[in-house]
Amino acid sequence: VEPVTMNAFELISTSQGLNLRSLFEK
């Protein structure tokens, strides 16, 4: 998906820092 067609929050939500799933990975 081209970044310009996404809204800002869709892009932001791809940050690894927001991915709490990694808390559960050892």
Partner 1 sequence: MGCFNSKPTRQSPGQVDPVVLASQTAFTVSEVEALFELFKSISSSVVDDGLISKEEFQLAIFKNRKKENIFANRIFDLFDVKRKGVIDFDDFVRSLNVFHPNAPLEDKIDFSFRLYDLDSTGFIERQEVKQMLIALLCESEMKLADEVIETIIDKTFMDADLNKDEKIDIVEWQNFVSKNPSLLKIMTLPYLRDITTSFPSFVFNSNVDEIAA
User: Does residue 4 belong to the site contacting partner 1 (CB under 8 A)?
Assistant: yes
CA distances, 7 to each of 10, 13, 22, 25 (Å): 5, 10, 25, 29
Least separation in angstroms between CB 1 and partner 1: 11
Contact 22, 16 (CB under 8 A): yes
Least separation in angstroms between CB 3 and partner 1: 6
Least separation in angstroms between CB 11 and partner 1: 6
User: Does residue 7 belong to the site contacting partner 1 (CB under 8 A)?
Assistant: yes
Amino acid at 10: E
